Amino acid sequence: MKVIICGAGQVGFNIARHLASEQHDVTVIDRSPELIAKIQSSLDVQAIVGYASHPDLLERAGARDADMIIAVTLFDEVNMMACQVAHSLFDVPKKIARVRAQNYLKPMWQDLFSRDHMPIDVIISPELEVAEAVLRRLEVPGAFDMVPFCDDLVRAVGVRLREDCPVVDTPLRQLTELFPDLNIVVTSIIRDGKLIIPSSDDQLLVGDNIYFVAEKCHVERALSVFGRDEEEARKIVIVGGGNVGAYIAKRLINNDSKIQVKIIEFNSDRANAIAKDIPNAIVLNGDALDVDIQKEANVKTAGTIISVTNDDKVNILSSLLAKQAGCKRAITLINNHTFGPLTYSVGIDAFVDPRQTTVSSILQHMRRGRIRSLQNLAGGAAEVLEAIALETSPLVGRPLREVRLPAGIIIGSVVRNNEVIVPKGGTIIKPDDIVVVFTRLEMIKKVEELFSVRLEYF
C-alpha cells in the first residue's frame, strides 16, 4: 500500500514506523527540517520538507498513485486542505485527517466533511479519543486499561499485579484448576518493559502488567481473582477544564446524575464558561498543585482524580498530591510517552497516551482483511483486534490445537451468534465467527493473512 503521511510529529512518526515495519511504501511530509531529518535517520521511508497541503509537494510525494493520505500536522486547516487537494487534484481513494478543534465537529456541521464538500473519509479527534479512553478506565475500577470488542460483549482488560494478588507465582495452566469458573484468556504479560505472549507454563509475578480477554459479565470476577476488585467512583475530581475535561464531566453527569463531579481549572475565563455550560458540576478556579485548592475540592474523599491538562508535570504532580491526601485512584493524561511506564512506580493507577489512542484509530482503517476494530497496546508493541473468520481462512474448520498459530499470536475470544466462546484446544472456528486476536506488532501481516479473502473464494 502506498501511503502519504502529512506531519512528522509523534503521531506521524509512529504511524510511519508501524507502516514501514510492515513494508508499506511510505512518504512523510513536514515543514520542519529537524523532524524530517529524524524520520530519515530512523525509518526506511521517503521524507520531504515542505507544506503538506501544497499540490506540488503532494505530487512529488506520489499522490497520483497513492492509496491513502493521512494528515496529522499540528494544524487542522492544513490537514483538511491536504485531504481536499489530494481528492480534487489526485483522486486519492482514502483520506484521513486529524481535527482537534471541536467547532468543526459539532453535529450541526456534520455535512462539512461529505464528498460534495470536503471529502474526508475518516475524521480523527484526539481529544474525544482521549476522553473516551478515560471513561473506559473509569468503567472498570482496578484496571489500568479496558478496550471493548464485539459490541462490548468482550473486553480486553489490563491489570497490574500487586503483592496482594492471590495468583502471584501461579503458572497460567493452574488458573483454570484453581478457578474453574474463570472464563478468561491471559493474552500478554508486560514485565520490565518487555512484552511476553505467554504459554501455559508462564507464571504471574508481582509488578507484571497483564492483559486478559473475557466476556463482559466475567470481568468483575477476573478482577477479584487478580486482587483488583474495587468500587466504582462516585466522587470524581477533574483537573483541567479544556475540551477533554469538559467532555468527561458532561458524559459522567449525563450517565448518572448521582455522580459528584468537581473541576479544577486554572484559567478564570475558562472556569466561568465551564460553570455556565455544566451547571451540575462544581467548578473551582485555581492551581491544581495548590494544596489549598485540593483541600477545597476535598480530594481526600474522592474516589478518582482525573488529570487532563496540557502539561504532563501538572497532571502527574496533581495526581500524586491527591493520592497522598487520600484519593483512592488517579488517572492521568501523559503526552510524553517516556513518562508513561514510570507513572505506576510513583502511585498513578492508569494513564492515557493520546499518541497511542490516535495511532490506534488510524491503523484501524488500514488493516487488511475482515478486521472490524483494533487497539494499539503496550506502547505500540502489540495490537488486539476483532476480525471476521471467512470460509477460506486457515483458522476455520479445524480444532485450534491443529491450527498451530505462529508464535506471537494468541486468540482471546470467539463470538458466534452473540454467544462468547472461550477458546480451547478443541474449539473449532466457523465461518462468520468474530475472533478477538492479540498479536505482536511484527506478526500483524500474518494476522491479516488469516482474515483476508483468498482468490479461491471467488
Which fold, 2-124?
Answer: Rossmann fold (3.40.50)
pLDDT for residue 457 is more than 60: no
Looking at the chain, the domain(s) classified CATH 3.30.70.1450 span: 365-457
| Chain region(s) in the chain for CATH 3.40.50.720 | 2-124, 235-357
pLDDT band at 368 (very low <50, low <70, confident <90, very high): low
pLDDT digits (tens, 9 = 90+) for 127-138: 888 999 999 999
Alpha carbons within 13 angstroms on the beta-carbon side of residue 202 total 15
Asked whether 278 and 250 are in contact (CB, 8 A), the reply is: yes
pLDDT of residue 288: 96
What whole-number distance in Å separates Cα of residue 69 and Cα of residue 4? 5
pLDDT (0 to 100) of residue 356: 83
* Alpha carbon distance 376, 381 (integer Å): 8
CB 196 within 8 A of CB 190: yes
pLDDT at res. 458: 29
Q: What is the pLDDT of residues 185-216, one digit of tens each?
A: 999 999 988 899 998 899 999 999 999 999 99
Q: State yes or no: pLDDT of 158 exceeds 90.
A: yes
C-alpha cell at 3: 501511503
Quick one: what percent of the chain has pLDDT higher than 70? Answer: 98
- Identify the pLDDT of residue 267: 96
| pLDDT tens, position by position, 83-126 | 999 999 999 999 999 998 888 887 777 778 777 788 899 898 88
Retrieve residue 102's grid coordinates. 471541536
Give the H or E element holding residue 414: strand 409-416
The grid cell for 30 is: 513536514
Buried b (16+ CB within 10 A) or exposed e, 346-379: eebbbbbbbbbbbbbbbbbebbebbbbbbbbbbb
What are the residue ranges of helices labelled H in 326-391? 340-343, 354-364
How far is 383 from 367, CA to CA, in rounded Å?
11
CATH topology classification for 235-357: Rossmann fold (3.40.50)
Q: Sign of the C-alpha dihedral, residues 413, 414, 415, 419?
A: negative
Query: At 98, is the secondary structure helix, strand, or coil?
Result: strand
Q: Cα dist. 348→30, 289, 321, 327 in Å? A: 35, 16, 11, 11
Q: What does pLDDT average to over the chain?
A: 90
State how far the Cα of 344 lies from the Cα of 362, in Å rounded to an integer.
27
d(CA 255, CA 148): 18
How sure is the predictor about 452, in pLDDT bands with cuts at 50, 70 and 90? confident
Per-residue pLDDT, 371: 76
- Are 429 and 435 in contact by the 8 Å Cβ rule? The answer is yes
Least trusted range by pLDDT, from 110-124, 334-348, 365-379, 396-410: 365-379
d(CA 221, CA 169): 19
Domain over 365-457 is classified CATH 3.30.70.1450: yes
